[in-house]
């Protein structure tokens, strides 16, 4: 297809062209007065430091370093050798950015690869986003797969099938995630996570949350109620302001402070030096490690280690090590 060229350091008024359009370095293009769009059926190529003073619809969009689109950008494929700023919304099947991408409006893409940082102020809808540094989303995000190598900040909710973050992540607003892997710590406001793995750093949840299978490699702090469909395990220190209720096993780690009750259908392990202010209820067995302070415990079998103290027990079988204390009553069921 023949190519139309715009000279470097020039300005051009363009409405629509039938061929590919190449814009030289530091040039500006804009639609005619009273119009919004520049339409290129083929490929639009921008040199370095170019500016589009309007909206663009094209087959392919290629940009050099530090280019700006002041309106919306619609293309099947977007490729930028360095940084790209879109002041409006960006819609594309495939987006590849070598450095920084900033979208002030909405982002709707099939696949997006960004080698540096990504910022989107509007809504995000995507099949897959991969970002090798940090990502900031100020609007709600709906994405099948989201992989962020550095930090993730989602300020207005996140719905995804799979989220993997290798540095610190903070997710605010409504959350619905099938798999969340946060290698270096995570802060959530609440919502639902079907499977949560927080391997090397701390987990903080500001409100109530519903979880599936959950593993926290270090400390976990829940400032509301926790409902777990599967098993729950925290390796180090666990704080729950409200209730901790699980369908599977519960392991509170090295030390826990639970403001409400703990309930499990299978097995509960209360870590050493833990304090549980509410009732502990389990359909099967409860293990109370050394130096724990508990109130009431109800289970089929209760094991109490040396130094642990429980107010009252209601169980079929009770095993108390020497030095373990039951301060109130033991009722056999």
Instruction: Delimit the domains of the chain by residue range.
Output: 1-95
Q: How far is the C-alpha of 18 from the C-alpha of 32, rounded, in Å?
A: 17
Q: Please give the DSSP secondary-structure letter assigned to residue 157.
A: -
Q: What is the mean pLDDT of residues 294-316?
A: 97
Q: How far is the C-alpha of 270 from the C-alpha of 255, rounded, in Å?
A: 8
Predicted local distance difference test score (pLDDT) of residue 146: 98
Q: Tens digit of pLDDT for each residue in 127-151?
A: 999 999 999 999 999 999 999 998 9
Nearest Cα to Cα of residue 105 among 71, 79, 130: 71
Per the CB < 8 A criterion, the answer to whether 247 and 226 are in contact is no
Q: Tens digit of pLDDT for each residue in 182-204?
A: 887 899 998 999 999 986 778 99
Q: Tens digit of pLDDT for each residue in 70-92?
A: 999 999 999 999 999 999 999 99
Predicted local distance difference test score (pLDDT) of residue 315: 97
pTM for the model stands at: 0.90
Q: If DSSP codes are grouped into helix, strand and coil, which group holds residue 170?
A: strand
Q: How far is the C-alpha of 269 from the C-alpha of 266, rounded, in Å?
A: 10
Query: What residue spans of the chain are helical by DSSP H?
Result: none
Predicted local distance difference test score (pLDDT) of residue 1: 57
The mean of the pLDDT values for the chain is 95
Q: How far is the C-alpha of 174 from the C-alpha of 192, rounded, in Å?
A: 8
């Amino acid at each position: 297809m023949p190519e139309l060229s715009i000279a470097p350091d020039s300005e051009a008024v363009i409405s629509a062209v039938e061929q590919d359009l190449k814009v030289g370095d530091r040039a500006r293009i804009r639609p005619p007065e009273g119009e919004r769009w520049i339409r290129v059926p083929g490929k639009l190529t921008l040199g370095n430091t170019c500016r589009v003073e309007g909206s663009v619809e094209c087959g392919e969009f290629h940009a050099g370093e530090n280019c700006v689109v002041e309106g919306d950008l619609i293309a099947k494929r977007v490729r930028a050798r360095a940084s790209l700023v879109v002041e409006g919304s960006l819609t594309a099947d495939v987006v590849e950015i070598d450095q920084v991408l900033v979208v002030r409006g909405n982002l709707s893409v099939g696949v997006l690869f960004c080698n540096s940082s990504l910022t989107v102020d509007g809504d995000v809808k995507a099949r897959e986003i991969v970002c090798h540094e940090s990502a900031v989303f100020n609007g709600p995000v709906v994405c099948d797969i989201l992989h962020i190598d550095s930090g993730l900040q989602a300020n207005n909710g996140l719905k995804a099938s799979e989220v993997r973050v290798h540095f610190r992540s903070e997710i605010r607003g409504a959350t619905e995630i099938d798999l969340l892997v946060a290698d270096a710590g995570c802060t959530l406001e609440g919502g639902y996570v079907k499977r949560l793995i927080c391997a090397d750093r701390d987990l903080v949840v500001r409100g109530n949350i519903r979880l599936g299978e959950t593993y926290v490699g270090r400390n976990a702090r829940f400032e509301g109620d926790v409902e777990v469909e599967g098993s729950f395990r925290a390796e180090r220190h666990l704080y729950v302001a409200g209730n901790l209720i699980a369908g599977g096993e519960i392991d509170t780690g090295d030390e826990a402070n639970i403001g409400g009750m703990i309930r499990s259908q299978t097995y509960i392990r209360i870590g050493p030096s833990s304090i549980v202010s509410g009732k502990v209820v389990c359909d099967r067995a409860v293990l109370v490690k050394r130096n724990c302070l508990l109130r009431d415990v109800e289970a089929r079998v209760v094991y109490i280690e040396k130094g642990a103290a429980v107010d009252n027990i209601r169980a079929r079988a009770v095993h108390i090590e020497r030095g373990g204390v039951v301060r109130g009553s033991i009722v056999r069921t």
